[in-house]
Amino acid sequence: GGGAPRLSSTGAIYMTPRAAPPRQDARPRPPFGVVVVEGADAESERSCVQVVPKYRVPLRPKIKHMDHWDLIVAFDAHKHKQESQAFESAGKAAKLSKFRATLDGQMDEVNALREQEAENRRQERAQSLAMAEENRRLQQAEHDAAQAQKDKVKQITDEMLQGIEDRRRKAQELKKRQNQQMTAWLEAEKRRKQEEDRLQAEEFARKREQAKAEMQAAMEEAKQRKKEREQAEKMYVAEQQKGMDDKEAANRAAVQARMDQIERNCATLGAEIADRDAKAERELQEKIRRVQEEADRASKEDAERRRSEHERKTREMLRSLDDQMEQRRKQAAIDKAENERQAKVFKEDYEAGLAKDRAAAEQRRQARAKQDETLIGQMRAQLEVHPRNFGITDVTQQLDVAYNRALFEHMHAEGFMTGLSGQMLQRGKHHGKLDPFPSVGRYDGPIHPLELQEVDAQLAG
């Protein structure tokens, strides 16, 4: 339906409806937001799973919270409703007659205001486009800076991972080379030991065979010498026996002749001759005994000499073997101490490498945790805001409320949503010029009578 155009208290232009049924409730309606408290979003209570996350990330609000612009729109709708009700209660004729007198002037003012608003809209559009372009440029710069930072972090992370991989590969190669060197040294030591044992065994076998051959030769020589000595003794005894037999045969005839002579001579001379013959016999037996004892003594001395020489060589061989075994034990103890020292050095290097790897892993873990906290903080700051509330920060809201403080004081004085309007007044306190070079200065010019007429009409009504 048609109606007469009129100004509201906020400066907006409305078409007054001809007839509208009065509404019983005075609650504000969309398109503005109606949620004025936190945590009003509907949440599901069907799940019984209790989640205790490490980092809590809120869900994005599903309903737009009511801000200061929504409050202004709601107050404007409320004023329009009041004016419509006042228009219906006072009657069309009186209201039309009241406005008919000032309609021409108002239309001129409206046309001027329209032109001014059109110019303001054009300027605002140009400013909005410039601001949007500047915002796009800033967003692109922030995106480029964030991308550069991300690329730098990725490059640093890749370099760290590559450095860790290189150090791990070098450590593995060093360990492999050391293992190969140790294995080669052990193999060489084993071969040297085997060669040394083989040479010692061959030397011992050669000395044993040599000693055995010398002993066998000495025994054969002693046996041969003994046999020769026995043969010589037998020949000597045989010669002595033959000589004695010859002498005895000669002596027997002489003795018989002498016995006959003795028997023919006197009995006293026979006793003397018998003593002389017995003495000669004893001397001969004593000489034979001395010769045999000398031969036995020489044989025993030679056997004793050979036995002493054999024992001396055996003792020297055993002493040499004992010295070699002692040297081998000392060398084994030295090698064992050196191996233990080298194993301790390897273990210390291994423990130092593990500690270094653990420190590097802990540093990477802390860097990742710090990065996660930063990203989670950014996510929280982004997700806590409704998409339609982006750009409305505490500072901008404080400035907007301070610029429109008179309007919020008006709605608070009329009792419109006193809790929220009072909260806005507390948030947007006026402390004078906050900016040393403000874009809009204080208005000290004259006020048009039409702007005062609406207030006077409401006060009169």
- Cβ neighbours of residue 434 under 8 Å, at least 6 residues apart? 399, 402
- Cβ neighbours of residue 303 under 8 Å, at least 6 residues apart? 222
pLDDT of the residue at 90: 66
Q: How confident is the model at residue 420 (pLDDT cuts 50, 70, 90)?
A: confident
Look at residue 37 and tell me whether its pLDDT is greater than 50.
Answer: no
Q: How confident is the model at residue 406 (pLDDT cuts 50, 70, 90)?
A: confident
Of residues 426 and 275, more confidently modeled: 426
Are 4 and 20 in contact, with CB atoms under 8 Å apart? no
CA distance 267 to 261: 10
Find the mean pLDDT for residues 122-151.
87
Q: Which of 19-33, 145-159, 347-361, 373-387 has the lowest mean pLDDT?
A: 19-33
CA distance 271 to 278: 11
pLDDT of the residue at 68: 82
Q: What are phi and psi of 180, to 5 degrees?
A: -65, -45
Q: How confident is the model at residue 356 (pLDDT cuts 50, 70, 90)?
A: very high
Look at residue 122 and tell me whether its pLDDT is greater than 50.
Answer: yes
Q: Which of 282-296, 378-392, 393-407 has the lowest mean pLDDT?
A: 378-392
Query: Which tokens go with 310?
Result: 């054999």
Look at residue 20 and tell me whether its pLDDT is greater than 50.
Answer: no
pLDDT of the residue at 118: 87
pLDDT of the residue at 365: 92
Q: What is the chain's mean pLDDT, rounded?
A: 77
How distant is the alpha carbon of residue 322 from its chain centre? 54
Question: Beta-carbon neighbour count of residue 412 at 10 Å?
Answer: 19
Bridge partners, 6 (sequence order): 14
Can you say whether residue 433 is alpha, beta or left, with left for phi > 0 and alpha for psi between -120 and 50 degrees?
beta
pLDDT of the residue at 335: 92
Closest CA to 453 of 109, 89, 120, 161: 109
pLDDT of the residue at 13: 37
Q: Which stretch of DSSP H or E encloses residue 144?
A: helix 92-264
Bridge partners, 5 (sequence order): 15
- Cβ neighbours of residue 394 under 8 Å, at least 6 residues apart? 427
CA distance 444 to 140: 41
pLDDT tens digit sequence for 198-212:
888 888 888 878 877
pLDDT of the residue at 211: 76
Look at residue 44 and tell me whether its pLDDT is greater than 60.
Answer: no
Closest CA to 7 of 337, 453, 441: 453
pLDDT of the residue at 205: 83
Question: Beta-carbon neighbour count of residue 97 at 10 Å?
Answer: 10
pLDDT tens digit sequence for 183-233:
888 888 888 888 888 888 888 888 878 877 877 887 888 788 778 877 777
Question: Beta-carbon neighbour count of residue 320 at 10 Å?
Answer: 13
pLDDT of the residue at 117: 84
Find the mean pLDDT for residues 238-251.
72
pLDDT tens digit sequence for 137-150:
888 888 888 888 88
CA distance 68 to 395: 13
pLDDT of the residue at 4: 42
Q: How confident is the model at residue 326 (pLDDT cuts 50, 70, 90)?
A: very high
Find the mean pLDDT for residues 271-281.
72
Question: Beta-carbon neighbour count of residue 66 at 10 Å?
Answer: 19
Are 10 and 457 in contact, with CB atoms under 8 Å apart? no
Bridge partners, 14 (sequence order): 6
pLDDT tens digit sequence for 50-80:
777 777 777 877 777 778 888 888 888 888 8
pLDDT of the residue at 6: 43
Look at residue 24 and tell me whether its pLDDT is greater than 70.
Answer: no
User: What is the secondary structure of 403-437 as a DSSP string?
Assistant: HTHHHHHHHHHTTSSHHHHHHHHHHT---S-SSSS
Look at residue 298 and tell me whether its pLDDT is greater than 80.
Answer: yes
Of residues 438 and 175, more confidently modeled: 175
Q: How many CA atoms lie within 13 A of 166 on its CB side?
A: 6
Q: How confident is the model at residue 455 (pLDDT cuts 50, 70, 90)?
A: very low
Of residues 92 and 145, more confidently modeled: 145
Look at residue 40 and tell me whether its pLDDT is greater than 70.
Answer: no
Query: Which tokens go with 8?
Result: 């509201």
CA distance 336 to 340: 6
CA distance 203 to 320: 12
Count the helices and strands in the chain (H runs, E runs). 7, 2
Question: Beta-carbon neighbour count of residue 271 at 10 Å?
Answer: 10
Give strand ranges (E) for 116-200: none
pLDDT of the residue at 7: 37
CA distance 101 to 84: 20
pLDDT of the residue at 388: 77
Are 60 and 386 in contact, with CB atoms under 8 Å apart? yes
Q: What are phi and psi of 7, to 5 degrees?
A: -95, 140
Query: Which tokens go with 320?
Result: 């040499």
